[in-house]
Structure 1
Amino acid sequence: MKNSFRLSLTWLHTWSGLLIGWILFAVFVTGTATYFRHEITRWMQPELRGGASPIDTARAAVARLETVAADSDSWFINLPDARDPSTVIFWREPGQRRFGTETLDPHTGEKLTARDTRGGEFFYRFHFQFMLPHPWGRYLAGVAAMFMFVALISGIVAHRRFFKDFFTFRNGLGSLRTWLDFHNVSAVLALPFYLMISYSALVIFMYMYMPWGDRALSDGSRPPPRRAAPQGAGGKAEAKPWIATAPVGPMLDEAARRWGRDGSTLQRLSFSGRGTGKATATLIRADGEHISTTHREQLRFNAVTGELLPGEETRAGPAAAIHGTLYGLHLAHFAGPVLRWLFFLMGAMGSALVATGLVLWTVKRRPQQKAGKRLSFGHGLVERLNIAAIAGLPVAVAVFFWANRLLPSGLEARADIEERCFLIAWAVMLLHPLVRPVMRAWREQLWLGAALYLALPFLDLCAGPWLKAAFARGDSTYLGFHAVIVFVGLMLVVAARKAGRPRPPKPGVASAYAHQTAAGAPPAPPRPV
């Protein structure tokens, strides 16, 4: 323990932020991109066309499932909306646990010939799985969320002038003061968002992190195992006759009558127990009015007769309601365009918060290391990990986008190759600082990232007609993606120009601190880093 409670929390804030800061930066960057994952997917699959009615699309999707999965007992259909023009169908393979899937053209109902890519879904999955086998990525995300929550609480308590310093930016007092002010401003400006996002991240997978309560409550209440199927004379299970499913048209007409003739709020269809007398069809409405994920208006039909089943009033308990609300806040599916942009900006500030904290750790200790004229192994390791995370990750993301345009559209396992390009690029950015001086490595990676982002619109222009077509029809989604890409490139240019050229502190600042220390007066307690 340190000399005081506040200094102890300062130490806790410093090390809880550093030890997993590089992973936290990746979590924030990919999570911020996830707020526009559908828009990213639209750019990465420019062949997709929007504008189809969900009702008509649902009819075409059911017809496609009757062709490719007629003997499946479970169907699932995700319908297009204003942000995501794709139609995705899933079906359970007969006698297996795995699912088949296809992406359909919303206008024709045929299998889409667009390039194979994860699109924005890659950032969503990486945000909490890190491309690791299940469930290890989610455990790592939980550890990162816990460390972040601890760093936030300890930083608030340890920082005596937390809100006062928010209104103060002192440029020219040296790199340490500047980095600290950047860190403080980015922390205070979106503090409620950081607290919400870190706490809700823990709550989302709380049943995985702490499963013992659920197991204790479920003891003795689990359903009995299924009985074996009746055996015939030959010792084989008796085959039951397949019961046909009712036409989906009247069900869709009922949904249109209740939710609007265009069916624009119809989000998902599911069929369960197909082929049996207990088959059901569920139509789920997109709900942007409620924050909680537990609020979903739906219609249930008897899939054999087509009869509308009475709605079952199911109210979530307090724990489930709180879980659903925090889950909904984290995902922000309820957010309209303005609120979604606000979440995006706060996520970007969170990325800056983590990045400035990591850099501040090295800047604060660099004079002590230079006094010994030899950097310690730990300091050198942190410097290089900072470069690979803060400068290298944007480079890897840019390579991911470049691969989407450069790889042949019909390449087998194309989506997997795009992800490998991302990982290879990031691995190269991790190795690069090991063979280059620290400041040069910073500049080289930042300049590389700036070049990749600023050249991406020109690559898109040369790769196909999509950018010209977007200008012609005024496609704000497609053009907005390029606007954000160019802005990121310009920010990297600014960072590259300033990297490695810290301003020396003003003589008055350094001498005052030195005089105070030499005179025997205790220096001001260290600020949280």
Structure 2
Amino acid sequence: MERTFSKSMAWLHTWAGVSIGSLLFAIFWMGTLSVFDLEIDRWMMPQTRLAPAAQPLSLDRIAKAVAPQVPAGAAQWRVDLPTAREPVLTFSHRDSKGQATTGLLDPASLAFIPEQGTEAGSGFIFPFHYSLHLKWMDLGKWLVGVAGMAMLVLLVSGVVIHKKIVAQFFTFRPRKRLQRSALDLHNLSGVLALPFHFMITLSGLIIFITIYFPAAQQALYGSGEKAKAAFTADAYGRFKRARANAPGTLGSVDGMLARAEAEWKGGHPYFVRVFHPGDANSYVELRRSYAGDITMNLDQIYFDAASGAVLHRFEAGPVMTVQRFMSGIHFIRFDHWTLRWLYFAAGLSGCVLIATGFLFWIEGRRASHAKKGLAGVRVVEGLAIGSVSGIMLATLAFLLANRVLPLDAAWAGVARAQLEMGAFYLAWVAAFAHAWLRAGKAWSEQAWAIAALALLAVLSNWIGTGDHPLRTVGTGLYAVAGMDAALLAAACVAVLAARRSAGRSDG
């Protein structure tokens, strides 16, 4: 009975990994990069490489600076305040039809920064991680949810089938044949970061519980738009009041800030939002920052825009506090650099875990499939190469396009940001095609391409901005220096992988 159970778990582990591994790798890869999404933004948006604000900012001055950009009849405008990781003011407004417009400001001069023409890390890489940029009926989020459930199955079944899990933790034989060394590295990366992999997967599922399990909220609130709005108000604290359709003024937002900080016992806001600007029923929202907390709190205070009187204060209830705590654990939006680097390393270990699982399966069946004339290994190898080295190449193509294309670049009516994303998807499709066309050599050739593109990205940043690694370290632009260092490290690892892979294919 025990042997049958172990065989069943081994079969489940193998085929769950092979069938969903490509999707899992993309999610883990983009999630790992998202740990430093704001640092990627600094690298991809050179004019946002600013020193942190030297003094507390006046919200009244900010409101005055952005007022000319707010169109008449706008539904709202919002300014996200600068942080150590994001040293710019982010301004956005929505018109009466809900269309959003965004811009960036220098917090020192309050001058608008020219449009950077990119979605960068926070606009492309981070949403890719949880939505795959498939918005129709939340298809991307559902696919990510399926992958998350599969990952939990893989983790549990992996623990069951590896009975000597402690011994395997201390076993790594890199000089053995590829199948053996791949299995050793698979076991090592899996055991080393097992708690992280389980936590990050489970928390990701909990974050989107209202999408994956809507019956819970529907049981209390019912279905339909009104029910959804009622749930949102109770869970997330949305406050609304209608326009008066009469002119109004905006009072001292700094006064509202002082009141909010007193209520929060020293807490600071991370954004200010004004609803119905210019209307007599205009009101102001301040949301408390969670830079110093794990929990992504929902603490918010709404003020009457003219008088500054408190209209509504909200703090999440126990259930939502747990959900926001899990969100904080997953998204790591709090300031803790040591933990951020540990998340990054653990995320990379997840990528290694998935990639080596593919390698072990491929190498274990290559000879037998060749004798039987089966195409399974070729199909899975093409998927593995395209989803592992292929998405790395696509990411580097995205970064390189950002550094090569001029700010006003456009082609056939396609804006620069879309051209960058187009470079990503074209490179990814090309990597899959190359993987199936160049049997036995694709791993090595794509590794060499990764090394070349990574070096080109560093060089193009140097040529285009003058910010070479030594200069960025000397001037305190650590986000840019870190990006260049990561790219150079990736090039070195890719060269080693290319040499190892070439040696195997030649042998």
Identical columns (%): 32
1:73 aligned partner = 75
Task: Check conservation: 1:255, 1:299, Cα contact below 8 A.
Answer: yes
Distance in 1 of aligned mates of 2:103 and 2:397:
27
Q: Secondary structure in 2 aligned to 1:84? A: coil
Q: Secondary structure in 1 aligned to 2:424? A: helix
Task: Check conservation: 2:89, 2:105, Cα contact below 8 A.
Answer: yes
1:177 aligned partner = 180
Distance in 1 of aligned mates of 2:80 and 2:499:
46
1:106 aligned partner = 107
Equivalent positions of 1:8-27 (< 5 A) are 8-27=8-27
2:288 aligned partner = 285
1:363 aligned partner = 363
Distance in 2 of aligned mates of 1:107 and 1:289:
24
Specify every segment of 5 or more residues in structure 1 that has no aligned partner in the other structure, as ranges. Answer: 227-237, 506-529
Task: Check conservation: 2:441, 2:505, Cα contact below 8 A.
Answer: no
1:408–1:225 CA distance, 2 compared to 1 (3 A)? closer
1:440–1:254 CA distance, 2 compared to 1 (3 A)? same
Equivalent positions of 1:219-234 (< 5 A) are 219=222
Equivalent positions of 1:487-502 (< 5 A) are 487-502=489-504
- More displaced stretch, 206-215 vs 136-145: 206-215
What is the CA distance between 1:416 and its match in structure 2? 1.1
2:499 partner letter: R
- More displaced stretch, 22-31 vs 266-275: 266-275
Q: Secondary structure in 1 aligned to 2:440? A: helix
2:347 aligned partner = 347
- 1:475-515 deviations in Å (ceiling 9; x for gaps): 2221111111101111111100001434999xxxxxxxxxx
2:169 aligned partner = 166
Specify every segment of 5 or more residues in structure 2 that has no aligned partner in the other structure, as ranges. Answer: 230-242
Task: Check conservation: 1:288, 1:333, Cα contact below 8 A.
Answer: yes
1:84 partner letter: E
What is the CA distance between 1:399 and its match in structure 2? 0.9
1:108 partner letter: S
1:414 partner letter: R
What is the CA distance between 1:74 and its match in structure 2? 1.7
Task: Check conservation: 1:73, 1:275, Cα contact below 8 A.
Answer: no
1:402 aligned partner = 400
What is the CA distance between 1:50 and its match in structure 2? 3.1
1:473 matched to 2:475: yes
1:224–1:329 CA distance, 2 compared to 1 (3 A)? closer
Distance in 2 of aligned mates of 1:54 and 1:281:
23
Task: Check conservation: 2:75, 2:94, Cα contact below 8 A.
Answer: yes
Distance in 2 of aligned mates of 1:497 and 1:221:
58
Task: Check conservation: 2:103, 2:115, Cα contact below 8 A.
Answer: no
Equivalent positions of 1:198-237 (< 5 A) are 198-219=201-222
Distance in 2 of aligned mates of 1:361 and 1:476:
40
The structure where helix makes up a greater share of residues is 2
**TM-score for the superposition, normalised by structure 2:** 0.88
What is the CA distance between 1:307 and its match in structure 2? 2.9
2:465 partner letter: G
Q: Secondary structure in 2 aligned to 1:88? A: strand
What is the CA distance between 1:123 and its match in structure 2? 0.9
Task: Check conservation: 1:32, 1:348, Cα contact below 8 A.
Answer: yes
Distance in 2 of aligned mates of 1:239 and 1:179:
67
1:163–1:2 CA distance, 2 compared to 1 (3 A)? closer
Distance in 2 of aligned mates of 1:316 and 1:31:
28
1:328 matched to 2:333: no
1:457 partner letter: V
Q: Secondary structure in 1 aligned to 2:303? A: strand
What is the CA distance between 1:195 and its match in structure 2? 0.3
Distance in 2 of aligned mates of 1:183 and 1:156:
12
- 1:343-395 deviations in Å (ceiling 9; x for gaps): 000001011001101111101111212334x3x22221101111111111111
What is the CA distance between 1:311 and its match in structure 2? 4.6
Distance in 2 of aligned mates of 1:53 and 1:79:
13
2:239 aligned partner = none
1:266 matched to 2:269: yes
Q: Secondary structure in 2 aligned to 1:457? A: helix
Task: Check conservation: 1:23, 1:144, Cα contact below 8 A.
Answer: yes
What is the CA distance between 1:172 and its match in structure 2? 4.2
1:152 matched to 2:150: no
Q: What RMSD over aligned residues (CA atoms) do the two structures have, in Å? A: 2.9
Distance in 1 of aligned mates of 2:448 and 2:245:
67
**TM-score for the superposition, normalised by structure 1:** 0.85
Q: Secondary structure in 2 aligned to 1:91? A: strand
1:47 aligned partner = 47
1:342–1:459 CA distance, 2 compared to 1 (3 A)? same
What is the CA distance between 1:209 and its match in structure 2? 1.4
- 1:13-45 deviations in Å (ceiling 9; x for gaps): 111111110111111111001011111100111
What is the CA distance between 1:465 and its match in structure 2? 2.0
Task: Check conservation: 1:57, 1:79, Cα contact below 8 A.
Answer: no
1:128–1:297 CA distance, 2 compared to 1 (3 A)? closer
Distance in 2 of aligned mates of 1:474 and 1:213:
49
1:58–1:414 CA distance, 2 compared to 1 (3 A)? farther
1:390 partner letter: V
2:250 partner letter: T
2:417 aligned partner = 415
Task: Check conservation: 1:170, 1:178, Cα contact below 8 A.
Answer: yes
1:142 aligned partner = 145
Task: Check conservation: 2:440, 2:505, Cα contact below 8 A.
Answer: no
1:384 aligned partner = 382
- 1:106-157 deviations in Å (ceiling 9; x for gaps): 2333331152111111110111121222411111111111111111111111
Relative contact order higher in (CA < 8 Å, ≥ 6 apart): 1
- 1:56-88 deviations in Å (ceiling 9; x for gaps): 364443224321225323222111110001221
1:130 matched to 2:132: yes
Distance in 1 of aligned mates of 2:130 and 2:213:
17
1:320–1:457 CA distance, 2 compared to 1 (3 A)? same
Distance in 2 of aligned mates of 1:350 and 1:220:
38
1:429–1:60 CA distance, 2 compared to 1 (3 A)? farther
1:454–1:407 CA distance, 2 compared to 1 (3 A)? same
Task: Check conservation: 1:88, 1:104, Cα contact below 8 A.
Answer: yes
What is the CA distance between 1:278 and its match in structure 2? 4.3
What is the CA distance between 1:173 and its match in structure 2? 4.1
Task: Check conservation: 2:291, 2:334, Cα contact below 8 A.
Answer: yes
Runs of 4+ residues over 6 Å off in structure 1: 256-261
